[in-house]
Structures are given as structure tokens and as C-alpha cells.
Amino acid sequence: MSLREITVHGQPAVELSATTGDQVTVALHGGHVLSWRSADGTERLYLSPLAVFDRRAAIRGGVPVCFPQFNQRGPLVKHGFARNLPWQVVPGAAADTVVLSLKDSEKTRATWPEQFELRLSVHVPEAHVLRIELQVRNSGTTPWSFTAALHSYLRVNDLEDAQLHGLKGTARWDAVRDERSTESRDALRFGEEFDSVYASPAHPLVLRAPAGELRIAASSTCPETVVWNPGPALCARLADMPADGWRHMLCVEAAAIDTPVELAPGTDVRLWQQLDARPSSSSTS
């Protein structure tokens, strides 16, 4: 394993070259996983070629950390402040792992008065497998609650040739139409704007495309799965996405959003998502 400091578009980042042959790049801005090249050299995450790297705005693509608020469900900036702040590398991480941390500061307490510590562990347990874990700790003296998501942008060659399996029978809120239902389809297909919050199933999801499969598992502390793609019309209005960017990505997000997570002083919770691109195996959850 090797871990080295690099710059990406002028921003500080770290690059993990795992003993498995996988390679992961994480920006310090936002504790943001920018790239995961699995052991065969295939890029598994989508990073917009128009993403803004100014150390202020959130980076479009990769895996943003949404905390302590998901989307605009509260008074804070959209998806919370964690993805817009500089994180610190924690030394002494385990093999094939990089760990970053973010703690409360005068800046965070100006909009959210709580004391906290986040630790993001990015781990390659096996070749073609990536696990991202967010540990949230209440380091203060009063209880507080939060919502969060690991906002993974998964790369596909052409989304219209891809299918997402594993959500049939789960409760769904369609945010585009503001409708609630139970998902009836064996596989989701995409081509227009798609924005839905699902109750997470107990089994991994499978993203199938002509190039292969990606299995997506999440911890039980993530009771929701968010599936999002802007579609052609919305994508054309996003300044940090190319007009055809929607074709090359699908967000499948491990999330805890419908019921805020309550943390007593001195306690913590871990939320994780595992991406498994092994040619012939099944993820463990």
C-alpha cells in the first residue's frame, strides 16, 4: 500500500494505491472521494469534467458527504456544510485505508451550534471492492440529531443501457412528482429526470450494464436509498455538468434522512456503503 499527497485541479488530495491494485483519490475539500479505479483499471465513479475546484463550492461527482442535513430538508445550506469544508488526514490508518476527519469549528457553530467529530474511512478490503464509512460522534454535552447521505455518483457508459435491480416491493417517494407508492418494477430504467427516496432493502442492489455489474450494499444505519439522475433537461441547466453528463452517471446513495438520527453526548454511529465490482461474487451486508 502507498498513500501520497497530490493535487487535483490545484486542490490538495491524497491518492491511495492499495495492495489489491485498486487506486482511490480523495480530496481534502469535503472529504470527497473523487475517483476509484478498481484493480482492472476501470473508473467506477463519475466526476464531472466541469466540476468546480475552488475550495468553496461542492464538487460535482465522486462521493460527496451530506451532513448534517440532507438536501434542503432544514435551515442549513443544501446537503449541509461537510462537503464544503477542508478535512484533515488522520495518520496511522489500517492497511489499504485512508481516514479523514472533520470537527466542529467556529465556522460550523455559526450555523449549527453542535459539537461533533466526523471520520470518513475509505477502505479497499478486496480487489474491485470499495467501502466508504462515515462515523459521526457527538463530542458535546447535549444531544442532537442529524441527517446524512453518501452521495455516490456511479459511472456508466450509457445510462439508457443500464438497469438498477433490487428495489421491487420497497416504499418509494418520487420527488419529481411528489408521489408515494410501492415500487413495482423488477428493474429501474432511466432516460428522464429521476429523483426518488426508497426504503432500503435488506439485500444489495445491482447496477447492470453491458460492461458488467456493480453490487451496492449499505449498513442498516442507512434506512433509505436515494436514486437520482438529472435527465437531459435538468442536466442542460447545471453549470458544472456537460449537457450529456446525465448519460454517464447514476447516483445511488446510502442515506439516513426520513427520520433524523439521534445522538446522545459521547456516542457515535457509523454509516457505510460498499461498492463491489468483482466479476463473480456477491456483496456482504
pLDDT tens digits for 213-253? 999 999 999 999 999 999 999 999 999 999 999 999 999 99
pLDDT tens digits for 74-120? 889 889 999 999 999 999 899 999 999 999 999 999 999 999 999 99
Compute the average pLDDT of residues 130-155. 98
CATH number at 130 reads 2.70.98.10
**pTM summary value:** 0.95
Instruction: Tell me what pLDDT residue 2 has.
Output: 92
**146: in domain:** yes
Q: HEC profile for the chain? A: CEEEEEEECCEEEEEEECCCCCEEEEECECCEEEEEECCCCCECECECCCCCCCCCCCCCECECEECCCCCCCCCCCCCCCHHHCECEECCCCCCCEEEEEEECCHHHHCCCCCCEEEEEEEECCCCCEEEEEEEEEECCCCCEEEEEEECCEEECCCHHHCEEECCCCCEEEECCCCEEEECCCCEECCCCCEEEEEECCCCCEEEEECCEEEEEEECCCCCEEEEEECHHHHHCCCCCCCCCHHHHEEEEEEEEEEEEEEECCCCEEEEEEEEECCCCCCCCC
pLDDT tens digits for 149-164? 999 999 999 999 999 9
Answer whether residue 282 shows pLDDT above 60: no
Answer whether residue 277 shows pLDDT above 90: yes
**283: in domain:** no
Percent of the chain with pLDDT over 90: 93
**281: in domain:** no
Percent of the chain with pLDDT over 70: 98
Instruction: Tell me what pLDDT residue 232 has.
Output: 98
Compute the average pLDDT of residues 19-27. 98
Compute the average pLDDT of residues 124-136. 98
**285: in domain:** no
Compute the average pLDDT of residues 51-74. 93
| Number of structural domains in the chain | 1
* Residue numbers annotated as active site: 151, 253
**179: in domain:** yes
**125: in domain:** yes
Task: State whether residue 188 is helix, strand or coil.
Answer: strand
**256: in domain:** yes
What is the domain range of residue 66?
2-276
Instruction: Tell me what pLDDT residue 283 has.
Output: 41
Task: Compute the mean pLDDT over every residue in the chain, rounded to the nearest whole number.
Answer: 95
Compute the average pLDDT of residues 48-76. 93
Instruction: Tell me what pLDDT residue 74 has.
Output: 83
Q: What is d(CA 28, CA 26) in angstroms, rounded to the nearest whole number?
A: 6
Instruction: Tell me what pLDDT residue 280 has.
Output: 64
Instruction: Tell me what pLDDT residue 285 has.
Output: 39
**88: in domain:** yes
